[in-house]
């Protein structure tokens, strides 16, 4: 066998090794992407459950959230502050889901549940609309724009002029 034949065989073996390595890397990337998405989804679920457990485990928080959404006039000034903080926590959670969806680490189905929460709150609780209109500043511009679109749609659906 001559050197040219051995060189050709070496190139073929090298090409096969490169193809095998690329295949292996593709599988690893796919598995890592799935793991990242699962981790993101679990983190959002954990945050949601933590937020909900505040209401479940604390009657005072439950009262504040109930009256804050249905009859804010029943809240003291301190309770109104706590309600605004609760809404900020909720919308931070939704903003996190928004960013994860935009980055591709939260799928459409998972994102839909958070988007539906915004629609529901704007459609059913005028005090949440008031809160958003006064407290929107600390949220990111793309999330704020998205929320404004949901608010406009909810108000249009209800026949309300936008402030």
Residue-wise pLDDT tens digits, 92-132: 999 999 999 999 989 899 899 999 999 999 989 999 999 99
What does the pLDDT look like over 59-81, one tens digit per residue? 999 999 999 999 999 999 999 99
CA distance 113 to 98: 11
Q: Decide if 47 is inside a domain.
A: yes
Inside any domain, residue 126: yes
Indicate whether this model's pTM tops 0.85: no
Q: Which domain holds residue 120?
A: 40-158
Residues 127, 69 contacting (CB under 8 angstroms):
yes
Domain count, the chain: 1
| pLDDT reading at 88 higher than 80 | yes
Picking from 120, 132, 51, 141, the residue whose alpha carbon sits closest to that of residue 84 is 132
In angstroms, the CA 121 to CA 153 distance is 12
In a domain, 16, yes or no: no
Q: pLDDT by residue (tens digit) across 4-50?
A: 877 888 888 888 888 988 888 888 888 887 887 778 778 888 888 88
Whether 139 is in a domain gets the answer yes
């Amino acid at each position: 066998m001559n050197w040219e034949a051995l060189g050709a065989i070496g190139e073929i073996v090298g090409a096969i090794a490169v193809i095998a390595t690329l295949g292996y890397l593709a599988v690893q990337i796919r598995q890592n992407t799935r793991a990242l998405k699962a981790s993101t989804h679990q983190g959002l679920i954990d945050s949601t459950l933590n937020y909900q457990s505040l209401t479940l485990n604390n009657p005072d928080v439950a009262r504040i959230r109930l009256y804050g959404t249905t009859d804010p006039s029943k809240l003291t000034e301190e309770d109104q502050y706590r309600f605004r903080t609760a809404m900020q926590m909720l919308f931070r959670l939704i903003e996190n889901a928004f960013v994860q969806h935009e980055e591709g680490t939260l799928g459409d189905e998972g994102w839909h549940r958070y988007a539906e929460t915004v629609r529901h709150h704007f459609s059913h609780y005028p005090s949440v609309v008031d809160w958003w209109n006064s407290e929107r500043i600390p949220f990111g511009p793309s999330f704020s724009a998205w929320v404004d679109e949901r608010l406009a749609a909810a108000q249009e659906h209800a026949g309300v002029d936008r402030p």
